[in-house]
Amino acid sequence: MTDTNAVPVSTAEDETNSLLSHEDGGSSGEDTTHQNGPAASGKKRKREKFQKTSCELCKARKVKCDRAEPACSWCARHNRTCVYLERQKPGSRIGFTLELETKVNRVDALLQTLWRRVEDHIANDHGSQPQTSSPTRSNPASVQVDGFTQDPTGPRLPSISGGTPLQQPRPPAFSSPSWQGQAGDGGESIQRSAPTATCAPSRSLLSGSAEPFTPPAQLNNVRPGSTPLSGGTDLPPQDMVYTLVDLYFKHCNTWCPVLDRKTTFGVFFGSTSLNEVDRILLHAIVATTLRFLKDARLSPTLRSHYHAVSKHKVMIYAMEHVSVEAQRALVILSLDELGTSNGPRGWNLLSILVQNVRQLNLCEENSMYLSADERDIPRTGSVRRVVVPQPDSWIEDEGRRRLCWMVYLLDRYATIATTRLDFMLEDAKMRRVLPCSYDLFSKNVPVETGMLSTDIDQQGWTGYTVNKPENLGSFAYHCEVLRILSKVHDFLERPVDVTSPADMAAWRNTYRSLDSALDNWLQSLPSEYSRISALCHSDPASRVANWFMLHSAYVTAVVRLHSSAAYPTVRSHIFVPSHYAVQRCLSAVQSLRDITQDVFEANGLDLVGPPFAFSLWIAARLLIVHAAMIGCAVDPKIDFFIDILGYVGQYWEVANNYARILARVVQRERQGEASFGAMRKSVFLRAHDLVILTSSTRRTGLDETASRTVALNELDNIDVFDFFNYPIIPSLDSTDRNSQAQIHHLPGLVNMGSDQSRAGAAPDPGSDWLGY
């Protein structure tokens, strides 16, 4: 077994974002071996390496202990229990320095912002006056505190007087569990504070010193269109904004790693003011991470206000600007929308994102960029060829690559969740190599992960060869498994004649190749991460949120593929339920249950995102489908999944919706209203009827239209069972209702609505048609 201490580079630095580095440097209170030499012979014998310490009572009394066994003389004389503990390493407890540094950085960020506002005030209102004017002569009403301008007509805020230090409430430091580290930090040490050289003027300003000062030259070069960080009421107070950005890297950037932490904090809380693009990105982060903020000052009304304002600003900017920066903000905002509901608003956002990827040509590994004079761009018809400039650094180039892959992932999850829809971003258009690990990305180190292949397969996909696996991180493996999931989805959406031996032989070959692809992907994971559930029980340090989500994506792909052979809605003498496929599905659900238990015990459910909730939703529905086929009670694990979905729903509303649907369906079955088998059979017939009705078209504009009301319990049944309505039978004529109705009455077919289809018929392991 591989040594768990030898963590590969790609995992130790990945978007796991571990902040605490457990280095083995420094003294531990144990004496080391003296150097050998002539001088050493005359010295007294060295002490034992593992010298026993004083007992705890002598330590408390601060007296010398004779360290006798089993009890020292004082404890034996006074009949007290003598306890010896191992010598502890010197220094403060783990995490104490982190908490202090976090508090200092928050205060430093506030001082930086106040200094920038004084700088803007001098540059804008006193441009004609000498720059040596004293800060005590400026109007105190122009100073902004906590993001609000001191306005006589507005709410009263504490003013900063000449001799009064700033009384700013200091929020508690966020200490992370040991297994997650500093999420979003990509293995880098904390570097939140801006250059400290600009802090001295701020401190002298707050102390009320009347000594004239000259702003640093580099701070006078304010970017065009730049504004203070929290001007007006469109953004929360400054310290709250800092916390929100920190929460984004803790809760979202682990599995949506499109931003570099160090660069982002440098832009938002550095020595220069924000331009419009930076503020839009900040608004996207605020709108997405307000769900995680717990602050007594943030009332529900204020929370809704900040969310609505930030979301509106990002949407308007993204509609008016087609750029990489606007795309990045829109991707972050889409996490908020898709985490709320998988509905039309989320689809609209995805449509914009996918179209922008095409327009900006982000799905290509470009080698040449065209540029033109800004005055000539409005007069040309080839705007899309010159709208994207050449990346000014490798980290910018890698950032665009990550942006494209993140849109790819969002499109996959949203499409598979709705079923029967096609991907908006085709795999044939994805000609991007895999992203590198987060640590290499944040260090701005150009590395190679793979090479695009010149060969194109039958489906038009461009393959790639991974020749540097040590440079890959969990995000790259996530992209890989979703490419396999895309192939599974396309495979299942192709109609197949289950009564044709030739068609079923081809179907079985494709099924086996996709099954092998998933197994190969699992084996390609570094170290023991292919057995992450067992590893997490033995090695708490490996408990990393994004690796949990990676494994949940694997479970989604396994259930999506094997459920079609395990629980088919249409059967024939050739195509029958497979025992192997059933076992693969149940094993995947059990592994997800174990992993979720690990996350729950580590208090890390707030670190997983909507994709993890979607995997729980799939696993819970499969338990219901399995009970419907076997004709037994549903597995008790269903209650665990419902409870976990409800917990995740505290942060992502879409998980709450999943939990409510499952709870209603399970309750109806347990109350005896209908069995799962009857529900699935009715769903099959109802879904078939609805498909026939909704797919039929009018031949003329004068033909009558009709509407049909569907009850909530029918919609719940469709939500639960429609995901597993496979395989798809070839249609004869989509405009002919009679021909569609005859599909499931063809010779040799047994469907869910047939009398021949009965519950309780478990697959026979001895006659598995898949041949495993």
Segment 320-333, tens digit of pLDDT: 888 899 999 999 99
Angle value at C-alpha 268, between 267 and 269, nearest 5 degrees: 100
Q: What is the pLDDT of residue 671?
A: 82
How confident is residue 109, by pLDDT bands cut at 50, 70 and 90?
Answer: confident
Q: What are phi and psi of 620, to 5 degrees?
A: -65, -40
CB atoms within 10 A of CB 177: 15
Q: What is the pLDDT of residue 750?
A: 57
Q: What are phi and psi of 671, to 5 degrees?
A: -85, 0
147: pLDDT strictly greater than 70: no
Q: What is the pLDDT of residue 574?
A: 85
189: pLDDT strictly greater than 60: no
Lowest mean pLDDT among 30-34, 188-192, 507-511: 188-192
The answer to whether residues 486 and 423 touch, using CB atoms and an 8 Å cutoff, is yes
Lowest mean pLDDT among 78-92, 346-360, 612-626: 78-92
Lowest mean pLDDT among 19-23, 267-271, 318-322: 19-23
Burial of 702 (0-12, 13-18, 19+ CB in 10 A): exposed
Spell out where 484-576 has E strands: 570-571
In this predicted model, which residue has the larger pLDDT, 89 or 55? Answer: 55
469: pLDDT strictly greater than 80: yes
Lowest mean pLDDT among 165-169, 411-415, 473-477, 603-607: 165-169
205: pLDDT strictly greater than 80: no
Arithmetic mean of pLDDT over the chain: 73
In this predicted model, which residue has the larger pLDDT, 527 or 655? Answer: 655
Q: What is the pLDDT of residue 722?
A: 84
- Which of 722, 724, 625, 713 shows the shortest CA–CA distance to 671? 713
Lowest mean pLDDT among 316-325, 497-506, 569-578: 569-578
Report the alpha-carbon distance of residue 747 to residue 513 in Å, rounded: 30
How confident is residue 657, by pLDDT bands cut at 50, 70 and 90?
Answer: very high
Q: What are phi and psi of 606, to 5 degrees?
A: -80, -5
Q: What is the pLDDT of residue 25?
A: 38
Q: Is 490 helix (H, G, I), strand (E, B) or coil?
A: helix
Report the alpha-carbon distance of residue 475 to residue 432 in Å, rounded: 14
Using one digit for the tens of pLDDT, what is the confidence trace for 433-446?
899 999 899 888 88
Report the alpha-carbon distance of residue 36 to residue 44 in Å, rounded: 13
Q: What is the pLDDT of residue 206?
A: 32
- The size of the chain, in residues, is 772
CB atoms within 10 A of CB 498: 24
Amino acid (1-letter code) at residue 589: V
Tokens for 660?
């409510």
Report the alpha-carbon distance of residue 208 to residue 210 in Å, rounded: 6
- Decide the pairing of beta strands 144-145 and 570-571: unpaired
Distance of CA 517 to CAs 523, 592, 761, Å?
10, 20, 30
169: pLDDT strictly greater than 50: no
Using one digit for the tens of pLDDT, what is the confidence trace for 277-297?
999 999 999 999 999 999 888
